Amino acid sequence: MITSFLFLSVSAFLVCILIVPFWLYLHYKSRSQIHINLSIEEKQQLQQLENEAKQLAQRINTLEALLDYHQPNWRTDTTNP
């Protein structure tokens, strides 16, 4: 019982010390390479999509504020489908 616990503890320790940092390094290195490999057109398109997403989020916030004002219980009201 103690030997199996010791084996699992040592194995988990080795994984945390050796494998996890290497995995994290490779993960973030590959993420940074994805952004480097974007063309100028793709970067512009990504920026445009980000701007559109911000505008849509702002519109949603405005609509929710209007609904909150005119129909205060609209979030919890389940009687009107």
Residue type (1 letter), 45:
Q
Q: What is the pLDDT of residues 45-57, one digit of tens each?
A: 989 999 999 999 9
pLDDT score for 15? 76
Q: Domain spans of the chain? A: 45-72
- Mark residue 77 as left, alpha or beta (left: phi above 0; alpha: psi -120 to 50; beta: remaining): beta
Q: What is the pLDDT of residues 21-37, one digit of tens each?
A: 888 888 887 776 666 67
User: Is 71 in contact with 77 (CB distance < 8 Å)?
Assistant: yes
Backbone φ, ψ for residue 53 (5° rounding): -65, -40
pLDDT at residue 69 greater than cutoff 60: yes
The label of the residue with tokens 């103690």 reads: 2
Residue 62 tokens read as: 């405005």
